[in-house]
């Protein structure tokens, strides 16, 4: 099976560098990415744009829009969702930020936009984000929204709750929204929003972090697996789920095995490949 990884990172963020080195034991580089792609038959990946102006500063109010993949030169099978810094959009009097994002969208490798509520303390209903949703509609780009747990202890958690997505999904019916991490741990809340909105999907990245060892522990946890499967059962529609890893926070091979165990075999092709080509139309 040829896999499309809909959620990974390829940016020079200290948090990712440290996690790759100390926890997941990932070679966080262009070479390391290509090696893991080849090992697991991942034919395409989608990187979530993110940046910081000094080590450890993310979520960084000073990051330039759009945030991109700045680790190394991207391989040709790595695509980008442009990351949005809402602080700069709020003070964008002459719409320079929006023009820069619009210009970056013209690149063929750009396949979506990425928002970080919970990290940045801005609600999805904030005026600045409405301009981003208009851009998404204009160019037919999905908007990936960080949902659920924040990978730090300074999360503004009410902003990353899945119910927040319900509000904007109803206001912008022509825009596809993807809840990252299936909103974990709020998977049942996420399931409600997904089943009630035809334009809302979820990616299955980031349920666990680490190397083969930590992922093996997650694979043997019936409690964790049932927790995720309960949310999926409520949605009852595998066309709504996209495979993603959150690399470099996990090693790809064991994480793929973990996700395969959560999904009936007959839906693997859909979740690991087909759904991605429908949601990310520029991938084709």
Round to whole Å and give the CA distance between 72 and 54: 17
Q: Nearest distance from residue 274's CB to Zn ion, in Å?
A: 22
State which residue, 145 or 271, has the beta carbon closest to Zn ion: 145
Q: Nearest distance from residue 265's CB to Zn ion, in Å?
A: 27
State which residue, 56 or 198, has the beta carbon closest to Zn ion: 56
Round to whole Å and give the CA distance between 180 and 194: 12
State which residue, 10 or 37, has the beta carbon closest to Zn ion: 10
Nearest residue to Zn ion by CB is 246
Q: Nearest distance from residue 160's CB to Zn ion, in Å?
A: 12
Q: Nearest distance from residue 246's CB to Zn ion, in Å?
A: 5
State which residue, 145 or 169, has the beta carbon closest to Zn ion: 145
Contacts with Zn ion, residue ranges (CB under 5 A): 246
Enumerate residues 6+ apart whose C-beta is below 8 A from 187: 227, 228, 230, 231, 232
Enumerate residues 6+ apart whose C-beta is below 8 A from 134: none
State which residue, 49 or 128, has the beta carbon closest to Zn ion: 49
Contact between 11 and 50 under an 8 Å Cβ cutoff? The reply is yes
β-strands 3-8, 177-179 pairing: unpaired
Distances from the Cα of 171 to the Cα of 93, 132, 134, 136, 200, angstroms: 24, 13, 11, 13, 12
Q: Nearest distance from residue 206's CB to Zn ion, in Å?
A: 6
Q: Nearest distance from residue 254's CB to Zn ion, in Å?
A: 17
Helix (H) or strand (E) holding 89: helix 86-90
Round to whole Å and give the CA distance between 190 and 234: 10
State which residue, 126 or 246, has the beta carbon closest to Zn ion: 246
φ/ψ of 272, rounded to 5, equals -85, -10
């Amino acid at each position: 099976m040829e896999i499309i990884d809909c959620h990974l990172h390829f940016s020079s963020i200290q948090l990712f560098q440290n996690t790759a080195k100390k926890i997941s034991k990932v070679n966080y580089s262009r070479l390391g990415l290509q090696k893991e792609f080849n090992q697991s038959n991942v034919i395409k990946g989608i990187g979530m744009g993110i940046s910081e102006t000094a080590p450890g500063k993310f979520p960084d109010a000073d990051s330039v829009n759009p945030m991109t993949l700045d680790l190394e030169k991207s391989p040709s099978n790595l695509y980008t969702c442009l990351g949005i810094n809402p602080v700069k959009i709020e003070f964008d009097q002459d719409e320079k930020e929006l023009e820069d994002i619009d210009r970056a969208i013209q690149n063929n490798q750009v396949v979506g936009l990425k928002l970080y509520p919970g990290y940045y303390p801005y609600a999805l209903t904030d005026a600045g984000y409405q301009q981003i949703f208009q851009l998404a509609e204009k160019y037919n780009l999905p908007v990936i929204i960080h949902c659920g747990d924040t990978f730090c202890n300074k999360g503004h958690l009410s902003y990353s709750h899945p119910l927040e997505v319900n509000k904007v999904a109803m206001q912008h019916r022509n825009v596809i929204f993807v809840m990252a991490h299936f909103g974990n741990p709020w998977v049942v809340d996420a399931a409600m929003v997904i089943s009630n909105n035809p334009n809302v999907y979820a990616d299955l990245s980031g349920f666990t972090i680490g190397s083969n060892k930590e992922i093996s522990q997650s694979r043997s946890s019936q409690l964790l697996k049932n927790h995720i499967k309960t949310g999926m059962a409520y949605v009852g529609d595998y066309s709504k789920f996209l495979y993603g890893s959150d690399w470099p926070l996990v090693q790809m091979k064991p994480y793929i095995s973990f996700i395969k165990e959560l999904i009936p075999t007959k839906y693997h092709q859909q979740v690991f490949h087909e759904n991605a080509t429908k949601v990310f139309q520029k991938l084709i």
